[in-house]
Structure 1
Amino acid sequence: MLIQRARTGLREAPANDRPDLRLGAGTGGRPAESLIPLPNSADRIVARHSLQTSTAQYLLVLNAPADLGRRGTGEAIADAVAELRAIDVTYSPLHPDSLVSRLRRGEISADSYPPLADIVARCAAMRAATDGWFDAWAVPGGFDPGGLLGGWAVERAASRLRAAGVQDYAVVSGADLVVRGHAPHGGPWRVAVHHPTGGRRSPMLLEMTAGAVGTSGVAGRRNHVVDPHTGEPVARLSAATVAGPDLAVADGYATALFAAGPAGLDWFPTADGYRALFAGPR
């Protein structure tokens, strides 16, 4: 079921355009595929880097200015990778010694560390924005920000790239993506978003110069999304995909929509620039 086409600073590209990246069922369950041939030119350095942490796979594609140099480009990638690895160890609830795990056990408070306080505040804001369908406190074992933590990590890595002088990039994790600026061919990033249920449906091809696409239900821990009102795992949809300016928020909305199912239509589209692209029925 296609809920609504995106109107968030991106547009659909002509169907015959060749995508730079693919997201969703069309990738066969693998992390988003980069189709970019990586051509370098006199004024650009194009680089691609893949990363596996204990909880996720990432793909970084940089279209960096030539004056940054290969060394500077490599350092930008290394800085973003270090951020992703640090977040995996420091905030994932899957690690018993992470700050989130310690918060769940009552060993620290949310304001003990500013980034942790930011995660908690974002979860509270998403709970309010989704009529409680995103609720990081209504899961087995206590507080679990997993519904938006992956997007938060990608946004933090992207901010590291910008700080290093890279303004044109894509950072991808599974079926989630953040892009900015222009792809190596010089135009907007062309992203093929496949319907969550796959099949013979043609993908939606988006042109993006800024923004994010977040998905819930395609990958992740089994039964990782629960109905916050009952605490039971949900399977009303096969997946939900949301586009908007910030990936942490898009991920949160996708998680809420996946939990709510058709009831999520009561609060989509949102007033803050986020739109549902797909909600796949079981």
Structure 2
Amino acid sequence: MITDNQTNFLYLPDSLPKKYTDFFHQLKQLCFKLNISFGLLPQTKDIWARDYMPIQIEQNKFVQFTYNPDYLQSKKWLRTISDVDAICNSIGVKPLKSDIKIDGGNIVRSTNKVILSDKIFIENPEIPEKQLIKAIRKILEVEQVIFIPTHPQDKIGHADGMVRFLDEKTVLINDLSREKPDFQLTFRMALHNAGLECIEIPYNPYRNRKYIQANGIYINYLQMKDSIILPIFEMNEDDLVINQFENMFSGTTIAAIKSNDIANEGGILNCITWNVFKEM
């Protein structure tokens, strides 16, 4: 599977400059500075491109899961679901399609592993668990599918706000020391039982007025070949996270962008981007 640190082209939804003009211009300037090639996904209805765009398996092989999340089933939110077929056609991508319901933000990937929250079992009740796991492993062409518990307050249920791969044997996780002990234990054991070591990074969403807000969740960063862009929030943890990432990702350029406006809406950098590998 193509991993984030192999990707060399970034797509941003064309709804981003319309809804968050200042943030888009700052991100664009940062991409220029980091020599990140990028383009806009046309005809997007919301900014959460990660969730509805396909998963890249190989350079010219993509998988499109069914994007029909339970949290968008009211009339208000159904209008925000983008026409993924039209978007993919416009950029020349022809993905293999799957009837399995999975948001892209709930797929955290390494070369031979993926991590998802257990919400997918709720989203696909018609598929027996063993059959669902086997199907995911086969279509994503990975050896191991790992499930972490969904936070009890999280209606979205995306793994990319909870865990990311550092390498094949190590994951980065939020510092959950202020969470309930039973959730901490269940979460850590799911990763430990999968053979993964964990490194904690700062985590401080506790000043947010609503649980949906993502301010203080640093793990939702954008990673590409040779560079990482971190969200920062004008918190004390900002400098700690930047220093930690500079130490962990030797040889990778670490940059940061103020992300409070985006985070107020429930997602951050990984959520609003779709990075791929392509021949340049």
**TM-score of the two chains, using structure 2 as the length reference:** 0.24
**TM-score of the two chains, using structure 1 as the length reference:** 0.24
Structure with the bigger RCO (C-alpha within 8 Å, sep 6+) is: 1
